[in-house]
Amino acid sequence: MSHKLINHSPDLKRLCVEGYGLEIKGVHLMLHDVPYVNSNKEIKRGTLVSTLTLAKPDQTGKPDTHVIYFAGELPCNYDGTPIQGLILASQVQNLDPAKGIVVNHSFSNKPANGFNDYYEKFTSYVRVLSSQAKAIDDQVTAITHKVIEFTDENYPFHYFDTNSSRAEIVAIANKLETQKIAIIGLGGTGSYVLDFVAKTPVQEIHLFDGDVFSVHNAFRTPGAASKSRLNEHQKKVKHLHDIYSNMHKHIVPHDCRLDKTNLELLNGMSFVFVCIDDGPSKKPIIETLIELQTPFCDLGIDVRAVEGALIGSIRVTTGTPAKNDHLGGRIAYKDVGAGDYSQNIQIAELNAINAAFAIIKWKKQAGFYHDLVKEHHSVYEINSNKLFSDDFNA
């Protein structure tokens, strides 16, 4: 419930967006890394802990008390003397043994009309404590932008999405949260698709590729692989899973190529990105997605060297249950031959553009973006800088 509570509670969302180290544990709110001064006139950092009152199951109410708890040493003025009028009691209390919430002090600093919300309550106590630390070092602050890991099992990220909250598009982003996404092929384009999808709140991301992550892959994949990482000769799905699982909790690697023997792995997918160039291998995948009535994007790059420069095009072809009669004329299923395939030119920025066009189309399908044209085939020509759309669905 943590992420919904924050998104639906302006006071908690403001604390997160501004960079305070807020954590929700059961029926308590915790604000970490609050600077204060101890009796030795040293700057320390402690944690403020408040009981949590809810107005609704997923929204905070007005704090039920002005009293707040503190985990740390006895807070003092900059000269090492205790802060008068703040400390209510000093004793170790185990507020929640199951969650390990142990405090050392309780404070009482009640405004005339109490605190209206938790932003006001926490920042009021932060000002009292940090003012004495600032008297010693004016650069100290409780705004650390430190990442606090979420313990909400249903939340897809390991930490709170302050980007969507800051832009106030959480409700729009949540249109994606029930989706299960498959990415077939983790080469240049597929890896950029993963980079974009991993930053959305989808339920699951399934990766399909049986190849090893090699040096040439490093030059058309997001990020920068180390030499030691390349020398491990890991499979692509393992390499990318390890990286993007730092952010998204539910990335599922499949170390295999999809063929007629294992296409059932696509059952239950909400949307599929087909990022392979092998036409014969692609054909049964596309036919299965049509049979399953699973929407998908087939991505392709055609780049050639002409007179000392590169020309070419970037293609995104979309298939949906409502529109798939155009696919036979848009997707090539023929065998290009090992020689031609090995000469396939891919460059990182073209892979990224190809992936971005496909992501935008997927998000249009989900209602994240408006879709006035409803094209199911688009081609970007590099040398003319033109984007063509076709195969419209009214």
Question: Does 345 map to a domain?
Answer: yes
How far is Cα 273 from Cα 319, in angstroms, rounded to an integer? 11
Mean pLDDT, the chain cut into blocks of 10 residues (394 residues total): 82 94 90 97 97 89 94 97 94 89 94 93 97 97 86 80 76 92 97 98 97 95 95 96 96 96 97 95 96 98 93 97 95 67 78 98 97 96 96 86
Shared-domain flag, residues 237 and 360 = yes
Residues 125, 244, single domain; the answer is: no
Q: Residues 258, 312: one domain? A: yes
141 located within any domain = no
Decide which of 87, 113, 136 is a domain's last residue: 136
Token pair 């302006």 in the structure block, residue: 10
Q: What is the pLDDT of residue 113?
A: 86
Would residue 146 count as lying in a domain?
Answer: no
Asked if 275 contacts 185 with a C-beta cutoff of 8 angstroms, the reply is: yes
Q: How far are the Cα atoms of 1, 67, 118 from residue 150, in angstroms, in the given order? A: 10, 25, 19
Task: Report the C-alpha gap between 313 and 386 in whole angstroms.
Answer: 10
Let me know if residue 144 belongs to a domain.
no
Task: Report the pLDDT value the prediction gives residue 165, as an integer from 0 to 100.
Answer: 66
Q: 114 lies in a domain?
A: yes
CATH of residue 309's domain is 3.40.50.720
Quick one: 213 and 81 in the same domain? no
Characterize the bridge pairing of strands 59-60 and 54-56: antiparallel
- Domain assignment present for 153: no
> CB neighbours of 323 closer than 8 A, spacing ≥ 6?
376, 391, 393
Quick one: 288 and 388 in the same domain?
yes
**Would 187 be classed as within a structural domain?**
yes
Write the CB contacts of 42 (distance below 8 Å, at least 6 apart in sequence).
Answer: none
**Boundary of a domain, candidates 136, 155, 183:** 136
The pLDDT value recorded for residue 190 is 98
Q: Domain check: are 374 and 283 in the same one?
A: yes
Do 350 and 221 belong to one domain?
yes
Within a domain: 147: no
The answer on 301 and 192 residing in a single domain is yes
Picking from 82, 112, 136, the residue at the C-terminal end of a domain is 136
In whole angstroms, give the CA distance from residue 71 to residue 75.
10
Q: What is the pLDDT of residue 342?
A: 46
- 264 within 8 A of 256, measured Cβ to Cβ: no
Residues 177 and 121 in one domain: no
Task: Tell me, yes or no, whether 189 and 321 share the same domain.
Answer: yes
Do 125 and 174 fall within a single domain? no
User: Is 92 in the same domain as 198?
Assistant: no
Structural domain that includes position 131? 2-136
Overall number of domains in the chain: 2
